Amino acid sequence: MLQHLSDGKFHSGSEIGRLFSVSRTAVWKALGKLEEFGVAVESHKGKGYRILGGLDLLDRSAILSSLSADVKARIAEFLVFPAVDSTNKLLMDSMARQGEYHLVTTEMQTAGRGRRGKVWVSPFAKNVYLSIGFELHGGPEALSGLSLVAGISVVRALGALGVEGAQLKWPNDIWVDGRKLAGILVELQGEATTSWQVVVGVGLNVKMSERDGEGIDQPWVALDELASLRRSDIVASMVESLVSIIEQFKRFGFSAFREEWERHDLICGNDVQVNEGEISGRAIGVDAVGALKIDTSSGCVVVNAGEVSVRPNVS
Ligand code: BTN
């Protein structure tokens, strides 16, 4: 029914009922349930029902058909849900998997996870929520710089869609014009010395309204301010870029990406604070493993993890 109404036009209750072999009352009840997903269905006597503005739903076959043969061949599983609690959680809960890459995307998340225990706002059919699960071999060093590389993959995916100017805020936020466009959450399970089960989750704002984003505690931007793109095309570009970049990362590590990171580094040259003032100084780029270098009053300090705030332009 959602698919049918996604065109934003009026459809009568009897037309929808006929299509799905249900009564008009059943149609009315089912459409009422959409409110639970935050989808407002307008009903008009004599005209029927419509979703104002329509919906840009995910199209699994369109996504798969725009992937390159090499990337497609590496995908063991590609799941598209109407709703899940969290695409990262879903992959983390089913780690013993066969095959190279496992992908999950969804129209909405009921418990989207952000970094540092925050909630990731995940309204229905508005944004992109995508997780990829895979295995990395090696000890802790095999993970060095992975989250930065994931950020680069989003910048590349946007570039391939004609969206230039995205910048990376260490370790892996994607910002445009001083506002956050996308975030990445890397989660791990592993044998610490031999191999890691990795889940990289990307959340990217596409059509999020001011109202949807009311609870977000930092400046944010949605992609529709910059370009008009279908969510399926965005997902396809992100899958293509994630799989290709992880393949490169497995072979060459972070050093192969350091220059590219520096080209998009948002905070280099800015005065920054890490973990609310624990360390403060001037950001001077990243080292060979992706750690943040900060020039402080007591010399150069290297930071492996933390929350960075930048003054005075970006917070
Ligand atoms: C951040 O706080 O910046 C990271 C946000 C990561 C959100 C994505 S949405 C898809 C995946 N599933 C989740 O629950 N979180 C990540």
For ligand 1, say whether the CB of 171 is within 6 Å of any of its atoms. no
Tens of pLDDT, residue by residue, the chain (315 residues): 888 999 999 999 999 999 999 999 999 999 888 888 888 899 999 999 999 889 999 999 999 999 999 999 999 999 999 999 999 999 999 876 788 999 999 999 999 999 989 999 999 999 999 999 999 998 888 898 999 999 999 999 999 999 999 999 999 999 999 999 999 999 998 777 788 999 999 999 999 989 999 989 899 999 999 999 999 999 999 999 999 999 999 999 999 999 999 999 999 999 999 887 888 999 999 999 999 999 999 999 999 877 787 764 444
Instruction: Give the atom of ligand 1 at the shortest distance from the alpha carbon of 116.
Output: 2
Annotated catalytic residue, options 115, 230, 250, 282: 115
CA quadruple 120, 67, 242, 191: dihedral sign: positive
> How close is the Cα of 95 to the center of ligand 1, in Å?
18
Angle at 154 between CA 148 and CA 155, to 5 degrees: 90
Residue nearest atom 7 in ligand 1 by C-alpha distance: 203
CA 131 to ligand 1 centroid distance, Å:
8
Ligand 1 atom at minimum distance from 202 CA: 8
Q: Is the CB of 13 under 6 A from ligand 1?
A: no
Whether 18 is catalytic: no
Buried-exposed string 123-160: b where 16+ CB fall within 10 A, e elsewhere: bbbbbbbbbbbbebeeeeebbbbbbbbbbbbbbbbbee
Does the annotation mark 89 as catalytic? no
Of 74, 180, 230, 250, catalytic: 180
* Ligand 1 close to Cβ of residue 203 (< 6 A): yes
Give pLDDT, residue 311: 60
Return the exposure string of 249-268: e unless at least 16 CB atoms fall within 10 Å of the residue's CB, then b: beeebbeebbebbeebbbbb
From 103, 119, 185, the mutation candidate for ligand 1 (largest count of ligand atoms within 8 A of CB) is 185
The whole-angstrom separation of Cα 280 and Cα 166 is 25
Ligand 1 lined by 167 (C-beta under 6 Å): no
* Among candidate residues 99, 145, 100, the one with its CA nearest the CA of residue 252: 145
Tell me, in angstroms, the distance from the centre of ligand 1 to residue 213's CA.
15
Residue 97 pLDDT? 74
144 lines ligand 1 (CB under 6 A): no
Distance (Å, whole) CA 196 – CA 187: 10
Give the model's pLDDT for residue 315. Answer: 46
SS (H, E, C) the chain: CHHHHCCCCCECHHHHHHHHCCCHHHHHHHHHHHHHHCCCEEEECCCEEEECCCCCCCCHHHHHHCCCHHHHHHEEEEEEEEEECCHHHHHHCCCCCCCCEEEEEEEEECCCECHHHCECCCCCCCCEEEEEEEEEECCHHHHCCHHHHHHHHHHHHHHHCCCCCCEEECCCEEEECCEEEEEEEEEEEECCCCEEEEEEEEEECCCCCCCCCCCCCCCECCHHHCCCCCHHHHHHHHHHHHHHHHHHHHHHCHHHHHHHHHHHECCCCCEEEECCCCEEEEEEEECCCCCEEEEECCEEEEECCCCEEEECCCC
| Interval between CA 219 and ligand 1 midpoint (Å) | 17
State which of 58, 80, 88 you would mutate to test the pocket of ligand 1, scoring each by most atoms of that ligand within 8 A of its C-beta.
88
- What is the residue type of 5? L
